[in-house]
Amino acid sequence: MEDSAGSNPQSVGLTEKFKSWLSWSWTYVCFIWLGMVLIMVYVLWSPLKLQETLASASVFLNTLTPKFYVALTGTSSLISGLILIFEWWYFRKYGTSFIEQVSVSHLRPLLGGVESTSTTGLFSSVNGEAEPRPSVSECKVWRNPLNLFRGAEYNRYTWVTGKEPLTYYDMNLSAQDHQTFFTGDTQQLRTEDAVMQKAWRERNPQARIRAAYQAIEMNHECAAAYVLLAEEEATTITEAERLFKKALSIAGKDINLLVYIKRRLAMCARKLGRIKEAVKMMRDLMKEFPLLGMLNIHENLLEALLELQAYADVQAVLAKYDDISLPKSATICYTSALLKARAVSDKFSPEAASRRGLSTAEMNAVEAIHRAVEFNPHVPKYLLEMKSLILPPEHILKRGDSEAVAYAFFHLQHWKRAEGALNLLHCTWEGTFRIIPYPLEKGHLFYPYPGCTETADRELLPSFHEVSVYPKKELPFFILFTAGLCSFTAILAMLTHQFPELMGVFAKAFFSTLFAPLGFFADKMESFMPSSFWHQLTRI
């Protein structure tokens, strides 16, 4: 036992050495293979009568008509064009090259490559210790605090345009939220609660509404059923508000229901123009349930206060929530930038600033804009109307395109109201990217921008929306290669069809030049090695 145990480290060491040698050998295997091929061709030149074979092949090629070459190059162009179309479609849909992905996943292990599971050395803290890069699991999806009403807003969009503004993934997350939020205690489920738990999982909206009415028949005081009807069946905000008030009157002491219903009632008041009432309801809700900060009710409050143009109150809310220990959001960062920009934007002039330099207030505003853009670089294009807006999803990914859509949808009007604020944003936002290191191994004020946002945003946002990607990805090599190959072969086909004799002369000159090094190599080998040696070797 001891001998075997003692021999294990040695066998492991031999295995590791063999693996390292194998990986090293793959690096030079192409050159070794090429050299062996050249040697084998030379050795077997006479026994296999390769010279006669090449001569007969050249005679055969000379007898081919130009139509054959037109067909050959045309077919090559067609095949490479089809590959190009598929590669382009795959890149637009998934953000990567199909050929590259298959090569990395299947060929890399054969070539001795190993996926790096550690990011040590890429991200280092001040103390020199490695900081892990944000992984996909850290790209947490959050409930959109200002999400719209399905029946009164999302469905109306569908009726008008025929497009679905919500993805199945987004709606499935909402169903999970409602199940957890309203029927968390599965040990004490009532009959109507079981019906409602199933109702949230239904994919068909009409099936959900029927299940809600079924729960109300079982118990006329099923508040969760009225919540579902207010969200999905009500076609106007007024009708939704009526159903929410009915649900509030029978909610009892269920804290989750009370918080959800009161928040939606405050949002109904905001949408119906009773903004002061909405602000009071939100403040009361935050005082009554101070521990529910993760619901981000303060973002609803900020938007309502901006509508009232109560900028001092907005600054007071920011002073509480724009804290270094609290998670940031686009609403927090861009609202802070808006307040600072508003103080100087009405008199800001790029020409004057370039001559005299930026004042302290202008510098603070520019720094706030840079901070906001670093947190979410997708927002400015929506605020500056360089990209078209869509209805915001029910869930967002912080620092992603989904959060940018949700923020701009509600806050674009506030930026437009502040005179010159969008002009200041337009002049300064791109300067942020000169501050952030590239590649994005380190952030400037925040953690490095996560690489998982594109995948999550594609799941959250509808297919008709062009997802904003940061940093902008360059076209993969294989798309450029197939595009060049398709164009080159198409040109060859056209030239061969138009000028067959000239292209024939060109092809002969090209192939003679191509095979000239091989002839040169064969002559050198003949002069270097005696013919008797090669004769004896071929006999062996």
> How many Å separate Cα 71 from the centre of its chain?
42
* Cα dihedral 433→439→445→450 (10° resolution): 110
Cα–Cα distance for residue pair 158/414, rounded to 1 Å: 27
pLDDT score for 277: 96
The reported pTM is 0.66
Q: Residues near 521 by Cβ (< 8 Å), separated by ≥ 6?
A: 38, 42
C-beta of residue 204 within 8 angstroms of C-beta of residue 191: no
DSSP 401: H
Q: 193, 202, 269, 257: which is closest to 232 by C-alpha? A: 202
Q: Name residues of the chain where pLDDT drops below 50.
A: 1-9, 12, 111-137, 439, 441
Q: How far is CA 254 from CA 185, 217, 442, 499, in A?
A: 11, 21, 45, 85
DSSP 476: P
pLDDT score for 528: 63
C-beta of residue 304 within 8 angstroms of C-beta of residue 278: yes
Residues comprising the chain, all counted = 540
Q: Which helix (H) or strand (E) holds 57?
A: helix 50-63
Q: 295, 288, 280: which is closest to 327 by C-alpha? A: 295
What is the per-residue pLDDT across 470-506, written as a single tens digit (0 to 9) for each?
Answer: 766 556 666 677 777 777 777 877 877 777 777 777 7
pLDDT score for 130: 35
Q: Which helix (H) or strand (E) holds 143?
A: strand 141-143
Q: Return the biggest CA–CA distance within the chain.
A: 107
Q: Which helix (H) or strand (E) holds 119?
A: none
pLDDT score for 338: 94
Cα–Cα distance for residue pair 209/196, rounded to 1 Å: 10
pLDDT score for 525: 62
